[in-house]
């Protein structure tokens, strides 16, 4: 599955940080019940890789990826855990080759036109725009579009349900990433009904 196909699966990719891997299957089931088929689990806690394994085993229809990927060791760990795709906060030429060799779909982050051009030279045409608001938000993405018309983006960073439609309305945006379909307190409390409701609203977002 290539990264564009993954990003086209829905308008929002929940970006989540999980402290207890036992909660991951319940979270994934709630998101899927709400119409979201893709989840990014960040490598910010010791539970992240076990959370990926649990989702792959118990909710196999969920497309699960690893976020905050920074080095080759994490690439190997992501593959071993069963991740389908990987997301990095920035662009690292060495990681592009390592992730490709591992067979993962890859979404590296960029913030500037120079970084986007470097990623394009590396053969990438689908990028994360991060942190979106700090990098110019919808205005920045709209300015990039005519000079790099073949590049598509998933903006992430500071995006909520209220401003997601403005990003999704841009021709060079495939989807947005954010925590708003699965807030940290709802995950912590195991409030799957709330997450299902938020996921349903997120899945219905259109620009």
Q: How far apart are CA 140 and CA 31, in angstroms?
A: 30
Q: What strands, in cross-sheet order, belong to the sheet with 85-87?
A: 105-107, 85-87, 63-67, 38-42, 12-16, 176-178
In the residue annotation, 8 being an active-site residue is answered as: no
The three-state secondary structure class of 187 is: helix
The whole-angstrom separation of Cα 79 and Cα 129 is 24
Catalytic residue among 57, 80, 128, 196: 128
Active-site residue (options: 29, 40, 73, 80): 40
Which segments of the chain are extended strands (E)?
12-16, 38-42, 63-67, 85-87, 105-107, 109-110, 126-129, 152-155, 176-178
What is the spatial order of strands in the sheet that 152-155 belongs to? 109-110, 126-129, 152-155
Q: Does 40 participate in catalysis according to the annotation?
A: yes
Active site residue ranges = 40, 128
């Amino acid at each position: 599955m290539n990264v564009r196909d993954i990003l086209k699966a829905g308008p929002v990719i929940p970006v989540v940080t999980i402290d207890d891997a036992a909660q991951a299957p319940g979270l994934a089931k709630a998101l899927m019940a709400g119409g979201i088929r893709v989840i990014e689990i960040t490598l910010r806690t010791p539970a992240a890789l076990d959370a990926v394994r649990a989702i792959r085993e118990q909710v196999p229809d969920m497309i699960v990826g690893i976020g905050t990927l920074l080095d080759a060791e994490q690439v190997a760990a992501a593959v071993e855990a069963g991740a389908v795709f990987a997301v990095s906060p920035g662009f690292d030429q060495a990681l592009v080759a390592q992730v490709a060799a591992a067979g993962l779909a890859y979404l590296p982050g960029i913030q500037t036109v120079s970084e986007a051009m470097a990623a394009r030279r590396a053969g990438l045409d689908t990028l994360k725009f991060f942190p979106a608001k700090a990098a110019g938000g919808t205005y920045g993405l709209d300015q990039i579009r005519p000079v790099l018309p073949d590049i598509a983006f998933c903006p992430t960073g500071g995006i909520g349900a209220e401003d997601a439609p403005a990003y999704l309305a841009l021709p060079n945006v495939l989807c947005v990433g954010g925590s708003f379909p699965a807030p940290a307190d709802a995950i912590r409390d195991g409030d799957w009904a709330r997450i299902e409701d938020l996921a349903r609203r997120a899945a219905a977002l259109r620009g």
